[in-house]
A and B are shown apart, each in its own frame.
Chain A
Amino acid sequence: MLRISNLHASVDGKRILRGIDLDVEAGTVHAVMGPNGSGKSTLAAVLAGRDGYSVDAGSVTFRGQDLLDMDPEIRAREGLFLAFQYPVEIPGVSMMYFLREAVNSIRRYRGLAELAAGDFIRLARQKIQPLGIDPGMLKRAVNEGFSGGEKKRCEVFQMSVLEPCLGILDETDSGLDIDALKVVSEGVNGLRGPDRAFVVITHYQRLLRYIVPDYVHVLANGRIARSGDRTLALDLERHGYRWIEERSTALAAAGT
């Protein structure tokens, strides 16, 4: 579904991603962990097509197409979804209007009929209910005045409405209390299926108890320093990132 090969990217001349290789097959969940500043959000931003990042080398294919060549909205319409680490507040645009516009932009792209207002409201209500979000939120401006936890839930709500093939969750668990974490995880698990894949960026093994990953990768200094199965997350919890970082710095110094 997603194939990242030797991806190098920089911001303002600062090299941040230094050769990422990652293969994400349909039906799998990949957890990406790593210390602060290691480049996790940068990777997510490059995949979603945010301005200001320059890709210096490497390639990314998404469902057989060159992802880096697409505008952000095309990536979304092709089925990529990023749950933001810091969702943006947009005063003056209602959640309802925004999300219907998103759904219909995607539907138009795929040659489907647009959803009428009534049908959309039914869909939104149905998706919002299991996430324990007050439907009144739909009338509010996008993320405006939402608490940290509400913003994160709302990202998952958007994902469940848009039903992407690939969901990238950037620290969606941060700032959630344990009940919210369960609810959000169930939301994600409900979307799991043979045609979907997830990349879950997190600092906490806790999340991975609910969203059980097939693979765990550790990002350090802009590379994947180590990959393994879910037991790697447990090791990290016990030993911290230190041992992996030291190894990756040594590798970087050796020029490999």
Chain B
Amino acid sequence: MAAVMQHASAYLERFSSSQAGRDWEPKWLRERRELAMERFLRMGVPTPRDEEYKYTDLRSLSDGRFLLSPDEPGGHARPAHLAGQRIAAACGDSLAVAGPAPPGIRLMSLSEALVRGEPWLEDRLASVASFERHALCALNTALFEDGIVIVAEAGADSTEPLHLEFGPGRVARLARVLVIAERSSRVTVVETYSGLGEYWRNAVTEIHVSENARVDHVRAQLESPRSFHTGVVQAAQERDSRMSSFSLSFGARVARNDIGTRLDGTGCDCSLDGLYAVRGHQLVDHHTGIDHAMPHCHSHQLYKGVLDGNARGVFNGKIFVRRDAQKTDAVQSNKNLLLSDSAEVNTKPQLEIDANDVRCTHGATIGQLDADAAFYLRSRGIGEAEARKLLTYAFATDALDRVGVASLRERFEALLLDRFAPEAA
């Protein structure tokens, strides 16, 4: 293996020692990991010279120290339980899957699925999320230790959210999730990420949505304010399927999320939505990608951001409409609220349209709190900080409306209000 990357040694060392202990893994996975490691070493941790990472500086991650180091001592403050059944938690060096699963849903650890030799794994694992051109996805693929697999069996209809909780520890640093919704099934998955101190988490979630199935995916990134969070969520959709993704990003010093779906069949529907709220010196970067490969599909995107202090936001929304994807309907919107003069946002839609009979719209706004509205509230006796909080909440509320699970939406509202509460202002 040709190591062209600087600082490769720590990664290589971890890789070799892990591979050595993985002789039980199927050959196809071992090969995929080899390939992924090679790809990662060739590409390296992205730098701002890379157009895709122009505003997001990950250079301090290049030597792998924050990813591979053990956790800082100190008890892990578990995030308040968000919603639904906590079915899996990755903490420390292991992963716990707790039953009982709702009817029609199978959950297991990835290692368990591999040991059992589930026949569908080879087609789905490390294949929906391509690591060919994505260094961080490649890194996760090469190194992940275990993960969580959710299978919604054909016809299963489960709206109760399944909650995957990722805390500190070796396994969770390289979180790996695989969701498979078989024909005409429905499943709701919530992932939460949190930790303490300085660390880097590099997570990958793959979602396969079969014909006429529906997956609702929610991701709550509530990492420690000193941490780095990079995450990939990639879905592949068959005909007549629906998929929704909601990304809540409040934590981490630097957070980068790549969220995408490939519409591989006709009549698909997807929505990629999110809310980010950052302050201090935080940076949050969302790159979304919707690949309209087939006709008659709809995509909808609403990302909203609230930025205070010296925080920085990045939004890049790619929409590809392939030649065959006639009658595509794609809507994208990114709206930002700057609460301070030194906060900043870079937002960019990126549309590549090769079909001619399509409707694609996009819009981006960056604004400040409406001074007239703030004065109106204050003139009724509402304090300045409270007025600011109320208007911030009002700004974000239609994004939060896109979270389908009511209990979760309420928790997110409370988290948002806390975040810009008077003490923090």
Contacts and interface: CB of A to CB of B under 8 A. Distances in A.
A is bound by B? yes
Contacts of A82: 379
Nearest to A143: B376
A142 B390 CA distance: 12
A88 B376 contact: yes
B206 to A, nearest CB: 35
Contact of A109 (B381, B386, B391): B381
B394 A93 contact: yes
B387 to A, nearest CB: 8
B381 A90 contact: no
B393 A92 contact: yes
Contacts of A48: 379
Interface residue SS majority, chain B? helix
Contact of B390 (A73, A89, A93, A106): A93
B394 A49 contact: no
B368 to A, nearest CB: 13
Contacts of A50: 375, 379
Interface string A81-92: 110100111111
Interface residues of B, number: 23
Given A73-B381, A76-B381, A105 B386 contact: yes
Nearest to B396: A92
Contact of B380 (A89, A141, A158): A158
A101 interface: yes
B378 interface: yes
B383 A105 contact: yes
B380 A76 contact: yes
A27 interface: no
Interface in B368-425: 370-373, 375-384, 386-387, 390-391, 393-395, 397-398
Nearest to A101: B382
Contacts of A51: 371, 375
A105 B394 contact: no
Interface in A148-177: 158, 162
B394 A77 contact: no
Interface in A82-130: 82, 84, 87-93, 97-99, 101-103, 105-106, 109
A35 interface: no
A90 B379 contact: no
Contacts of B370: 88, 90
A92 B400 CA distance: 11
Interface in A37-82: 48-51, 71-73, 75-77, 81-82
A72 B379 contact: yes
B375 A72 contact: yes
B391 A93 contact: yes
| A: interface residue count bin | 20 to 34
Given A90-B394, A93-B391, A102 B372 contact: no
A75 B390 CA distance: 20
A81 B380 CA distance: 7
B376 A73 contact: no
A71 B384 contact: yes
A158 to B, nearest CB: 7
Nearest to B376: A88
Nearest to A78: B381
Given A87-B376, A88-B372, A73 B383 contact: yes
Name the residue among B371, B381, B391, B393 with the largest chain A CB count within 10 angstroms: B381
Contacts of B386: 101, 105
A56 to B, nearest CB: 21
A105 B389 CA distance: 14
Name the residue among B380, B394, B395 with the largest chain A CB count within 10 angstroms: B380
A72 B380 CA distance: 8
B277 to A, nearest CB: 15
A102 B397 contact: no
A71 to B, nearest CB: 7
B381 A98 contact: no
Given A91-B394, A92-B393, A98 B375 contact: no
Contacts of B372: 88
Contacts of A105: 380-383, 386
B393 A162 contact: no
Contact of B378 (A72, A81, A99, A162): A72
Contacts of B390: 93, 97-98, 101
A77 B394 CA distance: 24
Contacts of B398: 92
A73 B393 contact: no
B246 to A, nearest CB: 18
- Which 4 residue pairs of A and B lie closest in terms of their CB atoms, listed nearest first? A92-B394, A76-B381, A102-B380, A88-B376
Given A72-B379, A76-B380, A93-B391, 6 more contacts: A76-B381, A92-B395, A93-B390, A93-B393, A97-B390, A98-B377
9 contacts: A81-B379, A81-B380, A89-B373, A92-B395, A98-B380, A105-B382, A106-B381, A158-B380, A162-B381
